[in-house]
Amino acid sequence: MESICVRPEEITPGVIITYKLRRDQRPVHPEKEWHGKVLLYNSLCHRAKVQSLVEGYEDCEDDVRLEQIVKIEKPHDTLPHLIG
């Protein structure tokens, strides 16, 4: 896995992440980036339970380690849209 700059404190339930599968997960396309919503995060083990958001895989859950995460989606600031 490549080294990335994701801080563990950014990973919380409900956040959307982009990640790659590990070799031991036997991916057909190892470079494919998956998108999912964090359901649970264990900060001691740096592992997340993630529900896939990829079409056709919505019922799948992955065990994702911190080093697999490519990026974390930042929520858009909606406040300006609510004010005038």
Would the pLDDT of 5 be above 90?
Answer: no
Q: What tokens does 70 get?
A: 């490519």
pLDDT at 74: 72
For residues 73 and 19, the answer to whether their CB atoms sit within 8 Å is: no
pTM: 0.80
Walk me through the domains of the chain, giving residue ranges and CATH numbers.
Answer: 8-82 (2.30.30)
How large a percentage of the chain has pLDDT more than 70?
83
Q: Which stretch of DSSP H or E encloses residue 82? A: helix 79-82
Would the pLDDT of 14 be above 80?
Answer: yes
pLDDT digits 0-9 by tens, 43-77 = 999 999 999 999 999 999 999 999 999 999 976 54
Bridge partners (DSSP) listed for residue 3: none
CA–CA distance, 16 with 23 (Å, rounded to integer): 22
